[in-house]
């Protein structure tokens, strides 16, 4: 309910104040499961996608964001709930599997799920090698993957800045990728790598970022997302 209200109230304010450029909204299927796979430049990326996508998009967030106490804990919980985040215990044993399981539930429920194949924010603006969780989801659920390119969010809220500042941004939704056929052509691990590389290439084609060919590193003090 809070997320729906945010999309009704906050999204128009975001468009009015920041005047974002949004391209390819028609590429996002309006019904059924879909994975939105985006480049990752800023903490605010999930908020931008959640508010400017043509349909609600859910991201995973550490469950500690939902269990804090006091005023700060309540405000943190309100923030992540407002923007459609789903709590998951990512610090527990087999945390990666728990995250993928939670994401799969979102998709099997016919909803849209947002993910960053790079795994963490890019600190230098380059596009880093994708981790194969996005491919696992696509192959396990058959959901189409819409590549998403964000531009300017690293200046809207740079790494280390608590609050956003004014800067124009662009959000571009690409043509959906159907990845299910790869399952029968290659062994599972190779299929996941091939699908992941295809998705990251599609993101790069939209964003124009230089490809780094290595895995990205999380900012100091931040666990890989």
The mean pLDDT value of the chain amounts to 92
All residues at 6 or more sequence positions from 129 whose CB lies less than 8 Å from its CB, including other chains: 118, 200, 212, 213, 214, 215, 216
Place of tokens 């190779």: 190
Helix (H, G, I), strand (E, B) or coil at 73: helix
* pLDDT tens-digit map of 125-155: 999 999 999 999 999 999 999 999 999 999 9
**Strands annotated E in the chain:** 21-23, 34-38, 57-62, 85-88, 112-115, 145-151, 170-173
Q: With cut-offs at 50, 70 and 90, classify the pLDDT of residue 92.
A: low
The stretch 58-68 carries a mean pLDDT of 89
* pLDDT tens-digit map of 17-54: 999 999 999 999 999 999 999 999 999 999 999 999 99
Place of tokens 């189409």: 144
Instruction: Name the pTM for this structure.
Output: 0.92
């Amino acid at each position: 309910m809070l997320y729906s209200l945010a999309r009704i109230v906050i999204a128009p304010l975001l468009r009015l104040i920041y005047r974002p450029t949004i391209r390819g909204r028609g590429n996002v299927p309006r019904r059924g499961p879909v994975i939105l796979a985006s480049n990752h430049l800023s903490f605010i990326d999930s908020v931008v996608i959640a508010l400017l996508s043509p349909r609600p998009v859910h991201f995973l967030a550490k469950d500690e964001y939902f269990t804090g106490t006091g005023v700060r804990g309540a405000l943190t919980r309100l923030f992540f709930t407002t923007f459609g985040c789903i709590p998951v215990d990512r610090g527990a044993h087999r945390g990666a599997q728990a995250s993928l399981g939670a994401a799969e539930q979102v998709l099997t429920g016919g909803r849209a799920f947002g993910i960053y194949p790079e795994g963490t924010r890019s600190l230098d603006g380059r596009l880093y090698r994708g981790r194969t969780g996005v491919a696992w989801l696509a192959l396990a659920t058959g959901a189409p993957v819409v590549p998403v390119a964000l531009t300017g969010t690293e200046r809207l809220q740079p790494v280390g800045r608590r609050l956003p500042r004014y800067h124009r941004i662009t959000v571009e939704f690409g043509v959906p990728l159907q990845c299910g056929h790869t399952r029968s052509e290659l062994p599972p691990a190779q299929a996941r790598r091939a699908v992941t590389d295809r998705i990251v290439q599609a993101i790069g084609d939209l964003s124009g970022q230089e490809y780094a060919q290595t895995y990205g590193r999380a900012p100091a003090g931040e666990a890989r997302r």
